[in-house]
Amino acid sequence: MKIAEMLKKDYVIESLTTSTKKDALRELARVILHDHPQYETETVVKVLLDREKLGSTGIGDGIAIPHGKLAMLDRLVVSFGRSVEGIDFNAMDGRPVHLFFLLLAPENSAGLHLKALAKISRMLKDDGFRRQLIDASTKEEIYRIIEEKDNFC
């Protein structure tokens, strides 16, 4: 499974413009929804917030992996966003989140969905990888860093 195949360069946000959890989810969803106009942004945000009610997807170390399932989505899609300032995401460690991978999956994709979440988590365990993502200067560089890590993880 390759995360880079689910994450287009256009789905990378080098600098999130928001400071709230809900707006971060909205911004991360919008880049994906340009290619999926059948979904309303607010409907997708509601799905993501409903998932957040089960427990924060802010896993600590400045990372969040919000995710949700959508009816009639034909494949897994991923967006990435970075917030240099950090966003309060109710993370498990109580610290702000700087790196976001948003995953949207088809409703019937439990196995694939979980494999993608696990792979993203493995990639993000690497402190050096996280630091590279924070220090990257362009969205193209961020995408390249993710693609390279994806090949070795």
CATH code of 111's domain: 3.40.930.10
Mean pLDDT value of segment 123-149: 97
pLDDT at 65: 97
Handedness of CA 145, 138, 46, 20 (dihedral sign): positive
67 is catalytic: yes
Q: Which residue has the higher pLDDT, 146 or 112?
A: 146
**Residue tagged 């979980």 (tokens):** 114
Look up the pTM and report it.
Answer: 0.95
- Per the structure, how many domains does the chain have? 1
Residue of 34, 36, 67, 113 with catalytic role: 67
Which residue segment(s) compose the domain that 61 sits in?
3-151
Partnered with residue 13 across adjacent β-strands are: 81
Average pLDDT in the chain:
95
Residue 128's H or E segment, with its range, is helix 127-135
